[in-house]
Structure 1
Amino acid sequence: MKTKLATLCILALMFLAGALWFNDWLAIDGCLDHGGQWDHSHSACMFHR
C-alpha cells in the first residue's frame, strides 16, 4: 500500500512541476510575442524603449 501512495505522490509532484513549467513557457512566449525580453533571474518580462 505504501508503494502505491509513494507513486501517487511522485506523479502529483511531476504533474505540478509540469504545470508550472508550462505556465512559465506561456508567459515567456507571450512576452517575446509582444517584443519584450524575458529576464530569467527575475522571472519577469522586460521592455526596453
Structure 2
Amino acid sequence: MLDFLRLELNHLHLYREKVPLHHILHETIWQLKPKAGKNRLKSLLV
C-alpha cells in the first residue's frame, strides 16, 4: 500500500508543489474506494 502511494506521489510530483500532501493522499484514497467503500479502504490500509 505504501509503495503504491509512493508511486502515486512520484507521478504527481509536479502537482505536489502546488497542492498540500494531505490533499493528494485524500484524492488517492477517494480513487481507491469508489466501489467497495470504507471496508476496502480499511483492508488496504491494514
TM-score between the two structures when normalised by the length of structure 1: 0.37
TM-score between the two structures when normalised by the length of structure 2: 0.39
Query: Which one has the bigger strand percentage?
Result: 1
Structure whose alpha-carbon radius of gyration is higher: 1
